[in-house]
Amino acid sequence: MLPVLKSFFDKNRNLIPLMSTALLALTAYAVGAYFFVGMRNPQVFFNLFRNSAHLLISGVGMTFVILTGGIDLSVSGVVALTTVATAVLLREGMNPWLVITLMLLMGMSLGAVMGAFIVKLKVQPFIATLAGMWFARGMCFFISDNAVTIDNPIFQILGKTKILIPGLMELAVQQGTPAPYISIPVVISFLLLLVAIYVAHYTRFGRTVYAIGGNEGRNEHSARLMGLPVEQTKMLVYTFNGFCSALAGLCFSLFVFSGHGLYAPGFELDVIASVVMGGTMLTGGSGYVFGTLFGVLVLAVTQALIQFIGSLSSWWTKIVIGVLTLAFIGVQTVLSNRKSGRQAALTPQARRRRRLQLAFGLGAVAVLAASGLIYGWQAGQANVAATPEAQCQVAPFREAEASTLVQEGAVIVYHRTAGPDCVDELYAIYPDGRVTGSAGGELVEKQVSTDEVDRLLVAISVEHGWFTGDIYSTYLNPCRQCYAHYIDISYDGQQKAVTGVDGTTAMPPGYAFALAEIRPLLPVVNP
């Protein structure tokens, strides 16, 4: 058995990073499902794709860029600009299909401009795309300083349409959970992935992309001598990546139903990390588009595991992704060195340089891993040292008290617990505009207009679908930075209470919008 595996890996060394990433993603999810009952819910698995559809779309475009030996840092800015421009144009009443077309053309135009700087003016891709990122971010705030809500009916349908998964209906009924589903952006991302795989591996354009990249830029000169359209191909690659960035921004808009210039911070690094972990060499010329899917899954599973653990900061996601990215770069370096060593004898200087590169990469991984372990150990020691009396206790939801307030006439009862300070806040909103509650043991009161209460009830119940199956309880044990929420709403003869924890992968988007609508009316709004 071992000789067979050794022979297989010797013949398919380029597949090692891809298979490693796939194994890592599936193993991590299996471990999470073993320890956390919530991760066994099929919807949690499909939420990995729902929450990462825009990342996969952008990753497909970035794969082509990196295969040519380039890089594109503008993707986060283009995504944010697309959300803002889409929201503003829809607010002004423009046809939604025309808006979608304009956004895609805008993304392609920005990609083509940056490609022209790189190809025609010989500007380094890092510099050209960094300038593009800051230009896009600046244009976001030139268009609108504040967040803009998307309430267009077509976008609401595109974002909220549920595509049920065949064969899992019975399992959902047995578990008493909503039927598993995916969204339209997920379908779009997989269709784009299939098209990209075909283009990369079965067309002349794809073969040219692979021929351009790699070998520290020397392959580009070789491709030009062979008569391949190098400049045209690189222009098309950056244009296509701009298209993917705009499409990712549109899909992200369908997920959050709003636009803001601060959306997608650090998104470009997540995209690059997913491509690298998917097996694509940063130096270009080697990799698979299909591998990007598993790179995205690694990021999504890592985030889900940290959220389910609950006691870890969200920054652990960045730490883990950083360690994994450096580890995969180290593996790629080793494989590249072995491949180049088989092709030609290296000079002593070249061997020395490659050993230094490898030592630097492995050293960086070791330092980062050691830092993470030390931080984790110190945090664990601090938790052990802390006495139960010194730790705040998470208060349970006051459901009986909330129900009593509803019976006494309250139309909305909002209870928030947990968080860094283990808050325990309970508020009631009445039809006459009276808002009462307790925050930190103090009784507080506020008077708002009846129109504000009516508008709030309509927004939550009608626009965000509070009394539909789109809003459901997703309570998990809150992390130290997370808050647990309990909302009980009575409106138009209907009453429904829903629990949830902010930051969880399964929280319905409408629930978060309901929170955003309620909190401005409260007497005391703590962070």
Q: Where are the domains of the chain?
A: 2-336, 358-391, 399-521
> Looking at the predicted structure, is the pLDDT value of residue 85 above 80?
yes
The pLDDT assigned to 119 comes to 92
**At 359, is the pLDDT very low, low, confident or very high (cuts 50, 70, 90)?**
low
Average pLDDT in the chain: 79
> Looking at the predicted structure, is the pLDDT value of residue 380 above 50?
no
DSSP assignments along 168-233, one per residue: -HHHHHHHT-PPPEE-HHHHHHHHHHHHHHHHHHHSHHHHHHHHHS-GGGHHHHHHHHTT--HHHH
Section 254-279 average pLDDT: 86
Rounded CA-CA distance 491/470 in Å is 17
Residue 438 pairs with which residues in a beta bridge?
Answer: 426, 443
How distant is the alpha carbon of residue 74 from its chain centre? 16
426 touches 442 (CB < 8 A): no
Section 100-115 average pLDDT: 95
The pLDDT assigned to 283 comes to 80
Section 73-77 average pLDDT: 93
Which of 213-227, 375-389, 454-468 shows the lowest mean pLDDT across its residues?
375-389
Same fold, 2-336 and 399-521: no
Section 69-89 average pLDDT: 93
> Looking at the predicted structure, is the pLDDT value of residue 174 above 70?
no
What are the tens digits of pLDDT across the range 291-304?
999 999 988 888 77
DSSP assignments along 292-359, one per residue: HHHHHHHHHHHHHHHHHH-SS-THHHHHHHHHHHHHHHHHHHHHHHHHHHHHSPPPHHHHHHHHHHHH
Rounded CA-CA distance 394/416 in Å is 10
What are the tens digits of pLDDT across the range 418-476?
776 778 888 899 988 888 888 766 788 888 888 888 888 888 887 777 887 777 776 65
Which of 94-108, 227-241, 258-272 shows the lowest mean pLDDT across its residues?
258-272
Section 9-22 average pLDDT: 68
133 touches 114 (CB < 8 A): no
Indicate the CATH number for domain 2-336.
Answer: 1.10.3470
The pTM of the full predicted model, rounded to 2 decimals, is 0.69
What are the tens digits of pLDDT across the range 127-165?
999 999 999 999 998 998 887 888 888 998 898 888 888
> Looking at the predicted structure, is the pLDDT value of residue 335 above 90?
no
Is the CATH code 3.30.1560.10 the one for domain 399-521?
Answer: yes
- pLDDT top residue among 337 and 108: 108
**At 382, is the pLDDT very low, low, confident or very high (cuts 50, 70, 90)?**
very low
> Looking at the predicted structure, is the pLDDT value of residue 341 above 70?
no
